[in-house]
Amino acid sequence: MNENLSTSESGQKPPRATEDGTTPTGEKRLRPSGGYRKLRSFQVATIIYDATVRFCERFMDKRSRTVDQMVQAARSGRQNIAEGSRAAATSSQMELKLVNVARASLDELLLDFEDYLRQHGHRQWLKDDREALMVRAVGRKLSQTNQHGDLDPAQHWQAYAPWLEHRDPAVVANAVVCLIHQANYLLDQQITALERQFITDGGYTEQLAAMRRSERARQERSTPVGPPQPPADAPCCPKCGQTMVLRTARQGPNAGSQFWGCSDYPNCRGTRKIRAQNDQTASSSSSNPTD
């Protein structure tokens, strides 16, 4: 990455937000980002990725192109959930796009495992089969006992180890299929929640514009309102003698041009052309030539 893209004008890198949406200095970000490690969808996708890598190493020909495709699909499912969570800080649309990419990648992986079972003559578990219900029960139990989302990946793996470490490839493949269905269900819920949040709160650009309008209004309220201050070399008003200030004509043939106006406007409407003063200054200078 180009260093200039992540460095402020002062030469210092801007503080990086932590996973709870705050910078190291305690400053709160406009939109929280990160925190993907506590998402159940990310945790399940991690198990799927690890299980796919081990499955390919144990039961598939490493020279097959399918091995690379399965591993890449499993990795894409996991990585895009993480990248979408990080992108949430600046783009709701990008977050939605990446989560949908994760969902599509897991769908691709699901087809690969189903193809393996069919092509090798293994039975695929139905959703109401006893084995499938047992695997799904583990997921429900983990969701209930892990409310804070801080489950260790090694502990997560051990919960599914009886199926994922089984010597029969059909058992392993069917267990991964159950996990992919579980991850897709979680991602569907996540996508629905993101869409609802976007409709309710708007995207990052809309929130940023709203915050800017609020800050501008606060500054205007805190700025003392008073008459414009005249410059040090301002002439005196020809009508009342008070110091004049620079003004800009808003209408008429001279719209957009500057002129001197009385600082006591609208009580006094005295004006003076700037050119007339410059001509007077130039005339005064020409009558007193230098040596």
Residue 190, helix vs strand vs coil: helix
pLDDT of 137 > 70? The answer is yes
Looking at this protein, which amino acid is placed at residue 14? P
pLDDT of 288 > 70? The answer is no
Rounded mean pLDDT of the chain?
A: 80
Which of residues 284 and 182 earns the better pLDDT score?
182
Residue 65, helix vs strand vs coil: helix
pLDDT band, residue 122 (cuts 50/70/90): very high
Cβ neighbours around 53 below 10 Å, total: 15
CB distance 260 to 235 below 8 Å:
yes
Question: Within 13 Å and on the Cβ side, how many CA atoms surround 84?
Answer: 25
pLDDT of 111 > 50? The answer is yes
Query: pLDDT per residue over 53-107, tens digit each?
Result: 999 999 999 899 999 999 999 999 999 999 998 888 777 888 899 999 999 999 9
- Distance from C-alpha of 209 to C-alpha of 207, rounded to nearest angstrom: 5
Query: pLDDT per residue over 178-224, tens digit each?
Result: 999 999 999 999 999 888 888 887 766 777 777 778 887 887 777 65
Per-residue model confidence (pLDDT) at position 217: 80
Query: Which long-range contacts (C-beta less than 8 Å, at least 24 apart) are formed by 128-134?
Result: 131/163, 131/171, 131/174, 132/174, 132/178
Per-residue model confidence (pLDDT) at position 198: 80
- Distance from C-alpha of 237 to C-alpha of 163, rounded to nearest angstrom: 94
Give the full edge-to-edge strand order of the sheet including 271-272. Answer: 244-248, 258-262, 271-272
- Taken as a whole, the chain contains a residue count of 291
Per-residue model confidence (pLDDT) at position 149: 62
- Distance from C-alpha of 166 to C-alpha of 109, rounded to nearest angstrom: 20
pLDDT band, residue 148 (cuts 50/70/90): low
CB distance 43 to 73 below 8 Å:
no
- Distance from C-alpha of 136 to C-alpha of 182, rounded to nearest angstrom: 8
For 243, which DSSP code?
A: B
Looking at this protein, which amino acid is placed at residue 191? I
- Distance from C-alpha of 76 to C-alpha of 78, rounded to nearest angstrom: 5
- Distance from C-alpha of 154 to C-alpha of 30, rounded to nearest angstrom: 34
Mean pLDDT for the stretch of residues 147-171:
88
Mean pLDDT for the stretch of residues 8-34:
48
b/e sequence 94-111, b meaning 16+ C-beta within 10 Å: bbbebbebbbbbbeebbe
Q: How far apart are the first and last CA of the chain?
A: 63
Per-residue model confidence (pLDDT) at position 151: 74
258 forms beta bridges with 248
Question: How buried is residue 161: exposed, middle or buried, by Cβ count under 10 Å (0-12/13-18/19+)?
Answer: exposed
